[in-house]
Amino acid sequence: MNWLTNYVRPKIRTLLGSTAEVPDNLWHKCPSCGAMIFHKELEANLRVCTHCGHHLRLDARRRVDLLLDPGHQSLDLPRPLVDPLKFRDTKKYTDRLKEAHAKAPDGQQDALIVAAGTCGGLPAVAAVFDFSFLGGSMGMAVGDGFVAAAEAAIAREAALIAVPASGGARMQEGILSLMQMPRSIIAVQRLREAGLPYIVLLTDPTTGGVSASFAMLGDIQIAEPGALIGFAGQRVIEETIREKLPEGFQRAEYLLDHGMVDMVVPRAELKPTIARLLTLLMRPVPQAALPAA
Amino acid sequence: MRTFLDFEKPIAELEAKIDELRHMTAQSDIDIASEVKRLEQKTDKLLRQTYAKLTAWQKVQVARHPERPHGLDCIQALLAEFTSLAGDRAFSEDRAIVGGVGRFRGRSVMVIAHEKGHDMASRVRHNFGMARPEGYRKAKRLMDLAERFKLPVIAFVDTAGAYPGVDAEARGQAEAIAAAIDRGLSLSVPFVAVVIGEGGSGGAIAIAAANRVLMLEHAVYSVISPEGCASILWRSSDNAADAAEALRLTAQDLLKLGVIDGVVTEPLGGAHRDREAAFTALGNAIDAALTDLVGKDGAHLVAERRQKFLEMGRQGL
């Protein structure tokens, strides 16, 4: 909001006496270059700025549609204990959960959604974080969901594509949120033992306990351009070392330069890249190739 | 001179008085032994009362007590022929995590421990027990070695957390922690971890994905420090005591939650007041856990460890 939107626009509207409503979300401002982008144009470009290529956050459902072939189905996830610690800060945790549920699409249980289908014709399960649900934080429900996603992949002999977008552990579940680190890693180990590919697509942001567990153990690590990825939060680091952080610190490209990811891939190329990787990994000899459809 | 915590002030005053009286006895020949005895009983009672109902925040302070036995203390007390092993074979030697082979009650073991240091020089050398990626990679290397020679692994956990620094991030702090947990979970040898002081988040679980996880009576184990939690959720670190309470980070609560397998009783007033007694209790608890695990075959140990972690969270408080 600036003086143009909250002062000039209402003034003009009163002057014109126009009743025609202009939707608020018709235009988006790119958080990186500041350019105004027409809503439809931004959506058509997969929420990548048409001016500077900045990748805005993408809704979890659209992410699934982007990665899996049409016809995928969402999976029901286990329902663990709610609020095991009876946690309360300035607000009750159960109230925070209620608010998050009210904003989330119907049927969504927590910060993770899981869908099964194919990617480029090969069986794949996608486990995608919803950052808008309590910052994509990982508690029991997310951990159980991730374990269920790995189990579904094993049952279908499918690859698992994990897409974290998370601030880290869900503090309100205390130690049980920390325990999701080993629990999610057990899921990765099972996939590994089943010989199935595990692809991690790191999106903005992937930090804390999520980055220090399943999200860094992919057979292939892919990151979206500009995504913030790291263990410690930038403010914590600044307070510890008391100096400015280097340019581009903890961004996808920085991780690539430091050998922590295999590639940084723009959003539009993600699906073909992952599909190609899956074919290379799951159909190693031409004879085993899928018959041309 | 013993360090007293804020809530121990009345105890400190009593002990100072006892010291004073003792000093006087040495100088004069007045018999004040009975008075000393009376005061000692009073101190004992006060300690008992105070330590019987420590709040979560008080436990955090005890767990961070500067005189509390640290990783190297436990190693020195419990292991014979301890032979320190260093380095991650890739970048450097991180002294925030120490480790090596030694003999625990006759049996060869691999030991991995956080070390915070006990004075300014050693704290700096050990980076206050906050490890960089090299520390976790060293831990992983030592686990590999344990696996190869079929040595049980004992870990002593005591860290405020993984080091939050630019260099640590540049060299993959997140990956190093994830890989250490991964290795711990796949060990086909018995793995016992004990939180002896502070179990700080990812830095702690990195060496604590074990078959048996024990905690000293006044140790704490949490996903985030109470100060960090308070500054995020209450928007002020002044609420650290509230956060400590809400996080349920005490050994007693974690046992109820099924996250840990046992609590090791500490001497009255905390492990630092009677180190020998603390080490004996600790040694006995580790011995019992190991005795239970050795002899089980590797696949069974892995399966049992996984099952234990997967079942966590089925019970609330």
Segment A120-135, tens digit of pLDDT: 999 999 999 999 999 9
More reliable by pLDDT, A107 or A288 = A107
Residues of B in contact with A237 (CB under 8 A): 164-166, 169
* A259 interfacial to chain B (CB closer than 8 Å): yes
- DSSP assignment of A226-272: T-BB-SS-HHHHHHHH-SPPPTTTTBHHHHHHTTS-SEE--HHHHHH
pLDDT at B237: 86
Could you give the ipTM of this predicted complex? 0.95
- What six digits make up the tokens of A32? 């990186």
Q: What is the pLDDT of residue B36?
A: 86
| Whole-angstrom distance, CA of residue B142 vs CA of residue B133 | 14
Beta-carbon separation of B165 and A88 below 8 A:
no
Task: Give the closest of B163, B178, B246 to A216, CB-based.
Answer: B178
Q: Do A232 and B221 touch (CB under 8 A)?
A: no
Whether the CA torsion B248, B250, B256, B262 is positive or negative: it is positive
Residue A233 C-alpha, separation from nearest chain B C-alpha, in angstroms: 8
DSSP state of A167: -
d(CA B62, CA B7) in angstroms, rounded, equals 10
Whether the CB-CB separation of B10 and B46 falls below 8 Å is answered with: yes
Segments in chain B below pLDDT 50? none
Q: What are phi and psi of A271, to 5 degrees?
A: -60, -55
**CB distance from A213 to chain B under 8 Å?**
yes
Q: Which of A17, A149, A168 minimizes the C-alpha distance to A74?
A: A149
HSE at residue A242, side-chain half, CA atoms within 13 A, is 0
Calculate how close chain A gets to B246, using CA atoms only, in Å.
6
Taking Cα atoms as reference points, which of A19, A55, A11, A43 lies closest to residue A267? A55
Residue A41 confidence (pLDDT) above 90? yes
Chain A, residues 36-75, CB within 8 A of chain B, namely: none
Q: Residues 161-180, chain A: which have Cβ within 8 Å of B?
A: 169, 171-179
- Taking CB atoms and an 8 Å limit, are B246 and A169 in contact across chains? no
Q: Is residue A15's pLDDT more than 70? A: no
Residue A139 has pLDDT above 70, yes or no: yes
- φ, ψ of residue A170 to 5 degrees: the values are -85, 100
Distance from C-alpha of B189 to C-alpha of B5, rounded to nearest angstrom: 40
Q: Residue B252 has which token pair?
A: 């007693």
CA–CA separation, B136 and B142 (whole Å): 10
Give the CA count within 13 Å in the CB-facing half-sphere of B155: 33
Tell me the pLDDT band of A239, cut-offs 50, 70 and 90.
confident
* pLDDT value at residue B233: 92
**In sequence order, what are the residues at sequence separation of 6 or more whose Cβ sits closer than 8 angstroms to the Cβ of residue A273?**
A222, A263, A265
Predicted pLDDT at A4: 67
Beta carbons of A199 and B162 less than 8 angstroms apart? no
Residues of B in contact with A87 (CB under 8 A): 246-247
Using CB atoms, pick whichever of B165, B175, B316 lies closest to residue A84: B316
Q: How many CB pairs below 8 Å do chains A and B form together?
A: 175
| Cβ-defined contact of B178 to A80 (cutoff 8 Å) | no
Q: To 10 degrees, what angle do helices A140-155 and A180-193 make?
A: 0
> Which is nearest to A139 in space by CA: A86, A176, A91?
A176
Q: Which residues pair with residue B109 across a beta bridge?
A: B102
- pLDDT over threshold 80, residue A19: no
Res A225: pLDDT: 98
SS3 A32: coil
Q: What pLDDT does B315 receive?
A: 79
Partners of B202 on chain A (C-beta within 8 Å) are 178, 181, 208-209, 212, 231
Tell me the percentage of chain A whose pLDDT exceeds 90: 83
Q: Which domains does chain A have, with CATH numbers?
A: 16-56 (no CATH), 58-282 (3.90.226.10)
Provide the angle, in degrees to the nearest 10, between the axes of the packed helices B240-247 and B226-233.
110
Residue contact B223–A174, C-beta within 8 A: yes
In this predicted structure, the answer to whether residue A289 has a pLDDT above a threshold of 60 is no
Would the pTM count as exceeding 0.90?
Answer: yes
- Say what the pLDDT of residue B1 is: 66
Q: What is the largest CA-CA distance in chain B?
A: 70
What would the pLDDT profile of A177-227 be if each residue is shown by its tens digit? 999 999 999 999 999 999 999 999 999 999 999 999 999 999 999 999 999
The pLDDT value recorded for residue A184 is 98
Per-residue model confidence as pLDDT tens digits over B276-295: 999 999 999 999 999 999 99
CB A200 within 8 A of CB A222: yes
Residue B128's CB is within 10 A of a number of other CB atoms, namely: 16
Tokens of B112: 């991995």
Give strand pairing partners of B108.
B103
Q: In chain B, which residues have their Cβ closer than 8 Å to the Cβ of A185?
A: 178, 181-182, 185, 209
Alpha helix (H) residue ranges in B187-297: 201-205, 226-233, 240-247, 251-256, 275-293
The minimal CB distance from A90 to the residues B162, B175, B234 is found for: B234
- Is there a contact between B166 and A175 if contact means CB atoms under 8 Å apart? no
Q: Residues with Cβ < 8 Å from B138, sequence gap 6 or more?
A: B86, B87, B88, B93, B94, B97, B99
| Residue B284 CB neighbour total at 10 angstroms | 12
Q: Residues of A with CB below 8 A from B314's CB? A: 80-81
Tell if the CB–CB gap between A175 and B233 is shorter than 8 Å: no
**Chain A residue with minimum CA distance to B174:** A212
Q: Read off the pLDDT band of A292 (50, 70, 90).
A: low
| Strand residues in B115-236 grouped as ranges (E) | 153-159, 191-200, 212-216, 220-222
Integer Cα distance of B205 and B200 in angstroms? 8
- Predicted local confidence at residue A291, as pLDDT: 59
Chain-chain contact of A185 with B178 (C-beta, under 8 angstroms): yes
Chain B residues near residue A213 by CB distance under 8 angstroms: 177-178, 181
Sign of CA dihedral B280, B281, B284, B287: negative
